Amino acid sequence: MPFLLKTVLSAVLVASIATVARRLPALGALIASLPLVSVLGMIFLWAEKPDRELMATHSEATFWYVLPSLPMFLLIPALLRRGWPFWGSLAVGCVLTVLLYLVVVWCA
């Protein structure tokens, strides 16, 4: 699948989520929480290389990498509610996620 098509589809997805979230934050969060990016990634990967074992490994690895990203979505609102600036909260959440990714890789 051409790179440009993948880029456009991904951009439309992100822009749609942001547009919906501006008016209805909970609905935007629901859409963002769906594994749409993961599903698109699997579709793109399968279209380029239809290999069952590769897809199974990719899907399983995605599961394990989603888990350490979840605490970020609790830390960011907690920091924002305590008066932290958005960019600082986002940075701390991202650092926490990277650290948890490293823990997952180390455990694996």
Statement: residue 81 has pLDDT above 80: yes
Mean pLDDT of the chain: 92
Nearest to 28 by CA among 38, 16, 36, 37: 16
Identify the pLDDT of residue 34.
81
pTM: predicted TM-score of the whole model, two decimal places: 0.74
Instruction: Tokens for 2, please give them.
Output: 């051409």
Q: What is the pLDDT of residues 23-53, one digit of tens each?
A: 999 998 888 888 888 888 899 899 999 999 9
Question: For residue 2, what pLDDT band results from cuts at 50, 70 and 90?
Answer: confident
Contact indicator for 59, 72 with CB cutoff of 8 Å: no
* pLDDT tens digit sequence for 86-101: 999 999 999 999 999 9
Are 42 and 78 in contact by the 8 Å Cβ rule? The answer is no
Burial class (CB within 10 angstroms; exposed 0-12, middle 13-18, buried 19+) of 42: middle
Q: Judge contact between 89 and 79, C-beta under 8 A.
A: yes
